Structure 1
Amino acid sequence: MDMGFVDDVIMTKPETSKIDVSSFIIDLSEQVPDPQPIVRIWGNLIASRGNISTVVGLAKSRKTFLTAAVASGFLSSSDFLGFDTPATGKVVYVDTEQSRAHVHKVARRILRSIGLPTNRNHDQLVVVALRELTPDQRKDATGEILRRYKPDLLILDGVADLCNDPNDLHESEALTCELMRWSSEYDNHILCVLHSNPGGDKARGHLGSALLRKSETVMLVKADGDTSVVSPQYCRNEPFMEFAFRINADVLPELCSIPAPQPKENVFADVMEVGRVYAHSELVSLLVKQANVKEGSAKMKISRAVRAGIIVKNQVGGYYLLGSQIEVSQSELHDEPF
């Protein structure tokens, strides 16, 4: 081996960083004001300058109605649906999913909500439809929109459409960093709208995980029939109270009561006979066949039902419906429960 080459490698100085870290050092002698509020709900701060937030919900949970209400509250001289602002400025609403005709309806709905004319443009509201563009083009277009209009509140309805793969870790982190950079550079707030995983409340993909970590507020929207319930999934500030809204005859959101929780379906009452005791394997087979669930899911349902008091497990491992009040001997069972 060429020892001269080895010496050169050892003696070579590492490349100097191109980032000037001095601007990132916290100076405790500096008087830094609190972030300026951009959006509040009933007085609770949910969005401030220099931050990002996220609205999460399944498809058809009325996320767009909620974010349009946020825009209306920002533009209103009072409030709308509980949303208001102590600031003044401009809203840019970017839609990445809907056709231009549907985006027109969203824009008019924002204005109708607060009594502004819907047949002309307004200096404080810019609405953009980016459905036809590629993800990279949408991201570039959003950057240009920020440079041109400098909004105080940017709403990205379909933020996942600004990246090619929201399940790609590196691309998701890069987009999240870009959103945070934009919010700092333009001293605004960026509200992102993202789908949740089917059957769950968690925001979809690596992008969802990254946004949840960096968001000032995460609002979860869940549909309950004709009503949508909004709850604070995460708040850096004081959490707001859960509330609900519905769509009225004028196709505008209005506050309403939170629906009472519905009792969960008792599948055991449908498949088990009153007064009969079932062995564990027998009950599992019954659930697999009649409730159309897999074996592992059936066993889990049985365990949960016992803990919830829906069914009873007696001393010898038999299962029966609550209220049957029966006891059996071990000889009446064909197998052990597990």
Structure 2
Amino acid sequence: MHKDTEIDQESKQNISKSTDLQVIKYDLNDIEKLRVRQSNQYSDMKPVIRVGESTFGVTGDISFISGLPKAGKSTITRFMIATALMKEVPESCDTISIRSEYCKGRKVIYLDTEQNPSDTKKMINSILEISGLKQEPENLIVLNLRECNHSENMDYLKTLFHYYNDAYLWIIDGVTDFLPSANDETASNEIIRYLMKMSSQNDTCIVCLIHENGGGSNGKMRGHIGSESARKCQGAISIKYEEEKKVHSITSTFLRNSKRIDPIYWHFNEKGKPVSCSAEIIEKIEKLSEDKDLSKKYEYVQILDEVYKNIKGVGLQSDELKRQISIHAPKPKTSISKDGIRKRNDRLFEGITKSTLLRIEDEKRDGIEKKIYYYESPNPELKF
């Protein structure tokens, strides 16, 4: 009888821990640990890396540097690491507007998953040259993980966070190399959550490098991990090489608690060293950008004039507008694949719908609320 009573009590406990057949894993004490109260004490997130006049990296959070291959992402990280090792940065030291706060002897860790070890060594030499150090400091930890697979990389990362839990700054060059695939949703979510946890738990700043999608993606980071990163990070900057202008640029795609970065331009001098562009060069760059914007707007006007000239004030739904743009888009000057034409037309549609040339109205068509695009040509000879 006593044994039956014990079984009944155990059954009741199991039932009390479940709701709709789901086991309740946490009690109210666990919930209380997550509760944010006005009286709670938290460490303030302190600026670690500034780009221009804006704060890019902070303690207790993660940030991202994106760019196409060879855009200059690794060059940017050299200055982040070098200035973190410098107690004072002389005015004569051109850091292309990148400044990290002094690490005060705490460890600065750089993980390279992409370059050959000999290139990683060259990067160390470049960091020492920028920082004015004659020999590698003990608190600079550089590892090359190029020969490791994603699973090994992840194991090493967890080991490093365990042993170097007091590190000041982490640079992870090639964050997608810690995943089976950049589009692996589960693994992407897990590593972002893990890095967020490590940054706050260790009160450290973590900066990850990631490639961007090609084809005019406007700084969109690659894969599902890129999308997840954009939602969760403290800051994200995009590095580009602008072929037409023969310069590299830094722009912000997102900064959580700081103003956007005015474009920063730099180039490699005759000795192969990165240097800031002069005021004269920047003026020419900005003039070129204005001319390009005007040229693009002129192209949009030409297309829209053709699209709307026979419909006399009628608005178009999104799908029809996109189809008409593809019909009236200028023919490519060189041979291009069908996929290339499709991507070009997609970019035209996106640019045109984001321009100020169209007016958008919400209207009911076939009983459904839809966005309708209207156009009034700036060309006085064309009256729609």
Matched, 1:237 2:286: no
Match of 2:36 among 19, 22, 26: 26
| Alignment partner of 1:138 is 2:153 | yes
* 1:92 equivalent in alignment to 2:109: yes
* Structure 2: segments with no counterpart, 5+ residues: 1-10, 90-94, 303-308, 311-323, 358-378
Give SS of 1:94's match: strand
Q: Secondary structure at the match of 1:263?
A: helix
Query: Structure 1 residues 69 and 18, CA, compared in 2 at 3 Å: closer, same or farther?
Result: same
Work out which of the residue numbers 98, 116, 131 in structure 1 matches 2:133: 116
Number of equivalences: 298
1:295 Cα offset (Å): 11
Residue 175 of structure 1 is matched in structure 2 by: 191
- Aligned equivalents of 1:295 and 1:58: distance in 2? 17
Measured in 2, the distance between the counterparts of 1:198 and 1:299 equals 12
Matched, 1:209 2:227: yes
Q: Which residue of structure 2 lines up, in the alignment, with residue 105 of structure 1?
A: 122
Cα shift at 1:133: 0.3
- Residues 41-120 of structure 1: matches in 2 within 5 Å? 41-42=51-52, 44-79=54-89, 80-82=95-97, 83-85=99-101, 87-88=103-104, 89-117=106-134, 120=135
Q: Would you say 1:12 and 2:15 are equivalent positions?
A: yes
Q: Which residue of 2 aligns with 1:163?
A: 179
Residue among 271, 276, 287 paired with 1:255: 276
For residues 130 and 49 of structure 1, do their structure 2 counterparts lie closer, same or farther at Cα, with a shift above 3 Å needed? Answer: same
Q: 1:251 to 1:128 in 2, by over 3 A?
A: farther
Amino acid at match of 2:115: Q
Change (3 A) 1:77 1:251: farther
What is the CA deviation profile of residues 200-237 of structure 1, one whole-angstrom value per residue up to 9, with x for unaligned ones? 12001110011111111111111113421111111112
Q: State whether residues 329 and 345 of structure 2, in contact with CA within 8 Å, keep that contact through their aligned partners in structure 1.
A: no
Match status 1:187 vs 2:216: no
User: 8 Å contact 1:109–1:252 — kept in the other structure?
Assistant: no
Q: Decide whether aligned partners of structure 1 residues 286 and 91 sit closer, same or farther in structure 2, where only a CA change above 3 A counts.
A: closer
C-alpha distance in structure 2 between counterparts of 1:142 and 1:95, whole Å: 12
CA distance in 2, matches of 1:171, 1:295: 29
Displacement of 1:251: 3.2
- Provide the C-alpha distance between the structure 1 equivalents of 2:163 and 2:68, rounded to a whole number of angstroms: 32
Deviations 1:130-179 (A, max 9, x none): 01001011111122222223421000010010111120111110110111
Which residue does 2:345 correspond to in 1?
Answer: 297
8 Å Cα contact 1:157-1:192 kept in structure 2: yes
- SS for the counterpart of 2:193 is helix
Unmatched tracts of structure 1, length 5 or more: 1-7, 273-278, 310-321, 328-338
Q: 1:181 to 1:308 in 2, by over 3 A?
A: closer
Q: 1:25 to 1:112 in 2, by over 3 A?
A: same
Q: CA deviation at 1:21?
A: 2.9
Aligned-pair CA distance for 1:78: 2.8
Question: 1:274-293 alignment to 2 at 5 Å?
Answer: 284=327, 287-288=330-331, 292=336, 293=341
Structure with the largest fraction of helix: 2
- Give the SS at the match of 1:151: coil
Instruction: Work out the CA distance in 1 between the residues paired with 2:204 and 2:343.
Output: 52
Note the C-alpha offset of 1:38: 1.8
Q: What SS is found at the alignment partner of 2:292?
A: coil
